[in-house]
Amino acid sequence: MLRSTISLTFVTILVLFLSKESQAANILLYNGRGDGSHYFSAAAIAEELATHGHSVTYLLAENYMHRAEHPVHSKLFNFIQCNYSEHELFDAYLQNFSKIAFEGRKIIFDTEMLQKGVDLEVRYCENVFHPSMLKKLRGKNFDMVVFDPSSPCSVGLSEYLQAKKVVFNPTALWPNLLRAVGNPPNPATVGQTGFAFPMRMNFFQRVQNLLLTWFVEGMTVLFVEAPYSDIFTPLNIKPYLSILGDVDLTIISADHVIDKTFATMPGVVVAAGLTAVPPNDLSQDLEQFMQSSGEHGVILFSLGSYITHLPPEFVSLFQEAFAKLPQKVIWQWKGKAPPTNMPKNVKTMSWLPQNDLLGHNKTRLLIYQGGNNGLYEAIYHAVPLLVMPLLIDQQDTAEQVAEKEIGRKIIAKDLTKEDVLETILDILTDQKYQNNVDHMSSIFRDRPLPPRKRAAFWIDHVLKYGGDHLRSPNHDFNFIQLNLIDVFAFLSLCLLVLLASVYYVIKVIVGIIRTIIFSKKAKQE
């Protein structure tokens, strides 16, 4: 507690000092309702911006206004509440979402679920764009909006407020976002999100990836652009993809140390691992639990913020598997009260200080769903992973972890306790996983600036100079020009003209020769 108070005091003093040394800007952060990992990764950037003297304001749904009570964020940020009365409907939607995930179905192909989710988001967006809320937001005179591309409403609001625009994607690499901001990745080397393509795709995978790229672009128009037109069009707000093509800066949370390798334009900044920092001290009871594990250590088990319902058979198989382990287990349990028959070596908690636990020397393994924050926290602290992907981009995380051999992946559908136990023991006993993650951690840490400082630096840069000089020239070309189709057509035409000319010249020469030959024969006769 004393350490936290001292740290907070230091941050406050630093904010006051730096606010005199730099020109403070008024920045709005809006990444949807304010839930889960999306909030905390953006908050990491916001904390750094606050230390630079900027005024940072968060727009949150009313059921997430407890963020305003955070011991650090309450001192650094301002908060604006957006009313929202459909919390129960959204919770029910998340339960259905969880069910689909455990059945192994891909949400991108479930149009009914997609439409329900879109309808809920659009109704929330109507509250954001209520005249009274817009008046309040306009009155703040924001210099910049930092928004999340997974929330089309935040994209539209950034355009409406006519401020500098920074798009921050807190998830795994999203090729269609890069394409929208003018940094198109090569579909031969960068797989579409959510389909677990390997780093090196074979021929049929590349065919599939190209078709999926076109499919996702079409789905973006149907499920992202079209549903918001009734809100955006009367206010002269451009469509979703057009706004993304006009941003000043793009920040992505996908690092080449594990994610796909791709070229970046000047306006695209790689800043993954924003929540991965040196650990804070644990609470006394949690520290005692960690130390009580002895030489065997502790396993962390978390399925993230969005999985609120666990099938009973799934709970049972993990209970039985954990009971056979010598390690102790900390299980993040969300929703209803945990069952009373938990094994003696298992401790349940509604919320985990995940980064602090991963940084503890007793932590041996993280079992989780494949979220982006957890991935880079584990890499930073060199903790092997067992990934059980449930939602979209988590499939890619699981594939990358297995491919790089810093852990393994398991599939929730048809999982057995024997599968769980065998996989855990393999990771804990085979030294290659620890060696590989140690090596990856060293690479990840060997940077001139931590990711949050890198992101804040470029935001400061755009505040000072704008983003025109970082803008991709790709936006100045249409599809035919950008892909050199007109150039290839011109070169093909030139080649045809050349071949036709050669053919004509040869034909003329042959004709002349034949004429000479025939004329000689005629004279001889």
* 162-188 per-position pLDDT tens digit: 999 999 999 888 899 999 999 999 999
The pLDDT assigned to 5 comes to 46
What average pLDDT score do residues 150-162 get? 95
Q: Is residue 138 scored above 90 in pLDDT?
A: yes
42 pLDDT tier (thresholds 50, 70, 90):
very high
- H or E element in which residue 145 lies: strand 144-147
The burial class, CB within 10 Å (0-12 / 13-18 / 19+), for 41 is buried
- Maximum alpha-carbon separation in the chain: 121
Tokens of 198: 């390997």
What average pLDDT score do residues 137-157 get? 95
pLDDT in tens, 81-131: 998 777 667 777 777 777 777 776 776 667 777 788 888 889 999 999 999
523 pLDDT tier (thresholds 50, 70, 90):
low
1 pLDDT tier (thresholds 50, 70, 90):
very low
How far is 36 from 458, CA to CA, in rounded Å? 25
The pLDDT assigned to 219 comes to 85
- H or E element in which residue 77 lies: strand 77-82
Query: What single-letter amino acid sits at 164?
Result: K
Nearest to 149 by CA among 124, 117, 130, 173: 173
> Per CATH, is 2-13+24-273+450-472 categorized as 3.40.50.2000?
yes
Give the chain's mean pLDDT. Answer: 89
| % the chain with pLDDT above 70 | 92
> Per CATH, is 284-445 categorized as 3.10.110.10?
no
Query: What single-letter amino acid sits at 365?
Result: L
The pLDDT assigned to 47 comes to 96
Least confident of 29-38, 200-209, 321-330: 29-38
Measured in degrees and rounded to the nearest 5, phi and psi for residue 19 equal -65, -25
479 pLDDT tier (thresholds 50, 70, 90):
confident
Q: What does the DSSP assignment read for 29-64?
A: EE-TT--HHHHHHHHHHHHHHHHTT-EEEEEEEGGG
Tokens of 454: 């890198």
pLDDT in tens, 326-370: 999 999 998 778 888 999 999 999 889 999 999 999 999 999 999
The model's pTM is 0.88
C-alpha R_g of the chain? 28
The pLDDT assigned to 222 comes to 85
- H or E element in which residue 27 lies: strand 26-30
Supply the angle between the helices 111-128 and 152-160 in degrees, to the nearest 10: 30
Measured in degrees and rounded to the nearest 5, phi and psi for residue 495 equal -65, -40
**CA 174 from centre of chain:** 7
Q: Which residues contact 272 (CB under 8 A, 6 or more apart)?
A: 252, 253, 254, 255, 259, 372, 376, 451
